[in-house]
Chains A and B, each alone.
Chain A
Amino acid sequence: MMRRLGHIFHIFIVLCLYLLVLPGCWSRREVDQLSFVGTVGLDVPDETFQGNEIGENPNMGGNHRRQTFRYTAEIMKPRVLGGGGGMLGGGRGGISELPYVVISVTGQSLWEAERNLAAVTPRTPFFGQASQIIMSRGFARRGVYPAVDYFLRKRDFRGTAWVSVTDDEAQKVLKSAATLEQTTSEEMDGLMEGAKNTGLGYAATLKDFALALTSEGRDPICARISVVSPARPQEAVGAESSGPQTFTTAQAAQMRSGAYRLNGAAVFRKDKLVGFLNPIETRGALRINGKLVREVMTLRHENSPGEQHEVSVEISHSQTRLKPEIKDGKPRVVVQVIEEGVLGETSSPHLDVFSPKVTTELNREFKKKITQEIEAAIRKARYLKADVFGFGETIRRAFPKEWRNLKRNWREEFAHIPVEIEVTATIRRAGHVLRPVPAK
């Protein structure tokens, strides 16, 4: 028995040794000593600026060293957000206290910049809950590879974070106050989640983005954020970009005028931003990539000559298939879209949506509209020479041999290959009302 016990003890010791070596995350972190980063904003600092940015090495003669990245983090304040334990004396500072702080730092690399956060925040930044990456237009134009690499390598960063590009500075988006939610990241999460229902933006996660970036025959696409009414950081905090800027309480409350919205999609060629898709084109892109769930389209219907009605249809089911073909060495892609819709609104009491004639006409109109959106998306993508639909990828999968020849010059090919759009569109239901509601 003792020998068996000794044996078990040995096994136990070995298991303990494994425990020391195997776990990747064995460092214990106390949640109250972490600062939860909700949103990360990436900018290129104003190149004309020379000054005492954090992260600058004073020994290197500071002023001449160019800071390549501005790193803005939205850090949540648990005490305000979570309401605290109730007992923590006077934890809630009233409405004026924002539940988060926005901190900007710069660095020669993102990793370095992130480390510079430590100079301004007492707690270790924790990215496990970060759900938004916002890049400025300038940053994205320069190439996002460093950012993607940095985020993918990061231990606690998650692939589920949403990626977006803003026309303005990312910093400004972060400084704009949320409207309904408590933090910018929560607010943006809501926008991104809703994008597939509105078709107004193209929501892409870091994982989607990185996959598109790394796979052959596909270019990345992500959401575009526009700041509607710009924030006024100048008024709030002295000179712009003078060191790390933290906005709290009164300052942030002043900035609440700022707001942002989803506004189509940002298209990349390789890792560089080349252009934007407007909402119509975005819907087309969502359709081709099979990401559209729900969307409301307004159709025009001519009942009798001169009598026009408007009919709104919501997509209830959408299915897309890309069929690559190669004929005589020429590639060709067929986009097959099957959609079903629910009629939700008519503008006229005289339209009998159940008459076969009207149904056929509406279906035709429905199909036409869908085709138009897809065509618009493809036209724009061809113009930008960015294969955000992954046509190349489908060809590569179906015809790996032919792809070897195609891939060298794929982006040029993409702009010219014939694309056929086959849409099957049906309006299935018409809501709770069968006949038009009579109007006197």
Chain B
Amino acid sequence: MSDSLMGKGLRSLMRNLRKVSRGRLSQDTRSRAGNTEKPRSEATKVRSPLSKPPRPNTEKPRSEATKRRGINEQPPPSQVTSSSHLIGDLKSDLNLFRALLGHSRDAAFREIRLGSKGQLPAALVYLEDMASKPVQIQTILRPLLLESRMIPLGNEIAGKDAVDVIQDAILPAGDVKRMDDVNLIVLSVLAGDTALLIHGSAQALVVNTRGWNMRQVSEPDNELVIRGPREGFTENLRNNVALIRSRLKSPDLEVRYRRLGFITHTDVAVVFINGIADPEIVDEVMNRIDVIQIDGVLEGSYLEEFIEDNPYSPFPQIEHTERPDKVVASLLEGRIAIMTDGTPFAMVVPTVFGQYLQSGDDYYQRYHVATFIRLLRLLSMFVSLILPGAYLAIVTTHPEMVPTTLLVSIAAQREGVPFPAIIEALLMEGTIEILRESGLRMPGRIGQAISVVGAIVLGQAAVSAGLVSPAMVMIVSLTGLASFAIPSFAIAIPLRLLRFGLMVVGSIFGIFGIMAIFMVVVAHLASLRSFGVPYMEPIFPFRAADLKDFILRAPWWAMTERPRSTHPIKLTRRTEEVRKVPSGNQQRRTTATSGKRGATKQ
């Protein structure tokens, strides 16, 4: 056996594998990522998508493993390099898989014999850690080995016929696919499927046996509601799509899958309602996703930075949520959800600024209350943005604006403080930020305790140490409190950054500086777009009809129309949806996760 030959064949296979996974991406020349070359060169170095920690000596264990499994006859190198299809000869096919997966300890190659006398050799290829054993036994091994004894496999039924019979009559699994491309089979196996190779057939049966451990559906911690569903997404994409489908039982719900990441092969689902969502926006979403070039996608935020309209803006332009009900509500508004496997966060586009001030609760509580609370949130957004800046501006440059009694009181408090007000404010704000960040990192209960106690004790101590004035402690804590009233963490962060800017400018230029910054920010917000939709709609451009669900929350019986900002095809919410006949020529890619095609023959 020659290592060089082996390596050569492998490398070409790996290259083919990458091509498949990249699919049309590599053909697309529009590159948002910018560097098309880099991932490729990196990818060649990586041995296998599933190899866990990179081992320093990559060659040796592999050759050892292949030796141990007794691969003496090398398949002709020309065959391997030219074609990545199965040949039909079980031994050589198996060797192909051994070469690709054999270096992973968890790869299993189970050879079995079918038929009444065991005339038909077959093999199962799967990953022990990824495939569910009970499912495997139930849906593959048991029927094949025990229950199909009476079927004369091998003798009368062989080759392609045997595959037909096994797929149609023997395997009691729902999701059985027929594949002949080694690369695709390997990808499926890597995702937890089991491949059944049958001697004499150039096609393998890939059975869905995915069954690794998953977090249970639980209530999302970051988006709590008082009234409303308590389910949140998990890290499993299929589970998440199911959570949406269970709430939206419509044939018009369309899920398009893409696979991103040259190495991670992460599934991404684009979910929308056919007949409501604007097809142009859907196309735009698909186009933007298709040109992403990246080796790994671990969270939706990886995509977010690729597909957002203004990548330099500190403001988030894509909303994300953990709540299926929120996603469904967005879909009904004509928005499009982008869900990534491996993360419980779904992204919703197009996004307008107002969404960040809304919470699921608004729609489950009485509308008067919801309107009041939205006003309160708007107020707290302003408070958290400008309060420290405005305080500094007024106290340091416009003391005449403060009522005399209050000013005298502030001055009295400041008398013992050695620093200028701006230093005092930065000190206090910095402390709060550190507290917030450390509270975030600290484990559960300790974190909470530290945050609250820390804030009180530190504030008190800072006052008694004469470092800050009590008024400043109050201002800073009020600001911190207000920033937590904003339902979205995503929008609170840029506001936090801006707050520091406003503090510095406010203390130097006063109200004038604050207004100047404010104008720049408002102009910037007005210039932003999310998938072509102006960010500040319905305020700018002004759309009176959309105001019913911006600060106000109109009662449901009055909200007869979807928001115009998302350009829904069907504006009214009142009449029953007219089913659209599926056009059929929509481009869909069969992916390993696409469950809806089921056991279709190719």
Contact = CB atoms under 8 A, between A and B. Distances in A.
B409 interface: yes
B427 to A, nearest CB: 15
Contact of B466 (A38, A87, A91): A87
A48 B396 CA distance: 44
B412 interface: yes
Nearest to B470: A85
A131 B403 CA distance: 11
Interface stretch (B328-336, B346-354, B413-421, B562-570): B413-421
Contacts of A131: 404
Interface stretch (A24-32, A266-274, A396-404): A24-32
A86 B409 CA distance: 11
Nearest to A2: B312
A87 to B, nearest CB: 5
A95 interface: no
A26 B397 contact: yes
B408 interface: yes
Size range of the interface on B? 35 or more
Given A78-B415, A85-B470, A87-B416, A26 B509 contact: yes
Contacts of A85: 412-413, 415-416, 463, 466, 469-470
Contacts of B513: 19, 23
A382 interface: no
Given A5-B312, A19-B516, A29-B399, A38 B412 contact: no
A326 interface: no
Contacts of A158: 400
A36 interface: yes
Contact of B396 (A1, A12, A31, A185): A31
B559 interface: no
Given A38-B404, A79-B415, A30 B421 contact: yes
A126 to B, nearest CB: 6
B404 A30 contact: no
B484 interface: no
A239 interface: no
Contacts of B421: 30-31
B397 A36 contact: no
Given A1-B312, A34-B399, A23 B512 contact: yes
B395 interface: yes
B95 interface: no
A12 B519 CA distance: 12
Contacts of A156: 400
A60 interface: no
Interface in A260-280: none
Contacts of A83: 409, 412
A87 B459 CA distance: 13
A84 B512 contact: no
Contacts of A22: 512
A439 interface: no
A128 B407 CA distance: 11
A31 B399 contact: yes
A36 to B, nearest CB: 6
B415 A12 contact: no
Nearest to B394: A31
Contacts of B508: 26, 28
Contact of A28 (B417, B420, B463): B420
Contact of B397 (A1, A25, A185): A25
Interface in B504-533: 505, 507-510, 512-513, 516, 520
A18 B464 CA distance: 41
A76 interface: yes
Given A19-B513, A129-B404, A25 B412 contact: no
Most buried by B among A1, A128, A158: A128
A15 B106 CA distance: 63
A81 interface: yes
Contacts of B599: none
Contacts of A23: 509-510, 512-513
A30 B469 CA distance: 13
Contacts of B415: 32, 78-79, 84-85, 88
A31 B410 contact: yes
Contacts of A30: 396, 414, 420-421
A82 interface: yes
A31 B407 contact: yes
B80 to A, nearest CB: 45
B463 A82 contact: no
A134 B415 CA distance: 29
A332 to B, nearest CB: 45
B466 A76 contact: no
Interface string A30-53: 111010101000000000000000
Size range of the interface on A? 35 or more
Contacts of A32: 411, 414-415, 417
Contacts of A15: 516, 520
Contact of B404 (A29, A36, A86, A91): A36
Contacts of B512: 19, 22-23, 26
Contact of B509 (A12, A19, A38): A19
Contacts of A79: 412, 415
Contacts of A88: 415-416, 466
A29 B410 CA distance: 13
A81 B408 contact: yes
A38 B411 CA distance: 14
Contacts of B510: 23, 25-26
A87 B516 contact: no
Interface in B385-404: 395-401, 404
A27 B397 CA distance: 7
B303 to A, nearest CB: 19
B188 to A, nearest CB: 40
Nearest to A84: B412
B399 A28 contact: no
B476 to A, nearest CB: 15
A34 B408 CA distance: 10
Contacts of B420: 28, 30
Interface in A351-385: none
Nearest to B410: A31
Nearest to A18: B516
A83 B407 CA distance: 12
Interface in A67-114: 76, 78-79, 81-88, 91
B459 to A, nearest CB: 12
Interface in A139-162: 156, 158
Contacts of A91: 412
Given A84-B412, A88-B415, A28 B397 contact: yes
Most buried by A among B397, B412, B513: B412
Contact of B408 (A5, A26, A82): A82
Contacts of B417: 32
A27 B513 CA distance: 12
B416 A36 contact: no
A124 to B, nearest CB: 11
A156 B408 CA distance: 16
B399 A129 contact: yes
A114 B63 CA distance: 95
Contact of B407 (A25, A26, A36, A87): A36
A5 B524 CA distance: 12
Contact of B399 (A18, A38, A84, A128): A128
A207 B93 CA distance: 99
B400 A129 contact: yes
A265 to B, nearest CB: 26
Interface in B223-258: none
Given A30-B414, A83-B409, 15 more contacts: A12-B520, A15-B520, A26-B512, A28-B396, A30-B396, A32-B411, A36-B411, A79-B415, A81-B409, A82-B411, A82-B413, A85-B415, A88-B415, A91-B412, A129-B407
Interface of A: 1, 5, 12, 15, 18-19, 22-23, 25-32, 34, 36, 38, 76, 78-79, 81-88, 91, 126, 128-129, 131, 156, 158, 185-186
Across the A-B interface, the 3 shortest Cβ-Cβ residue pairs:
A128-B400, A82-B412, A82-B409
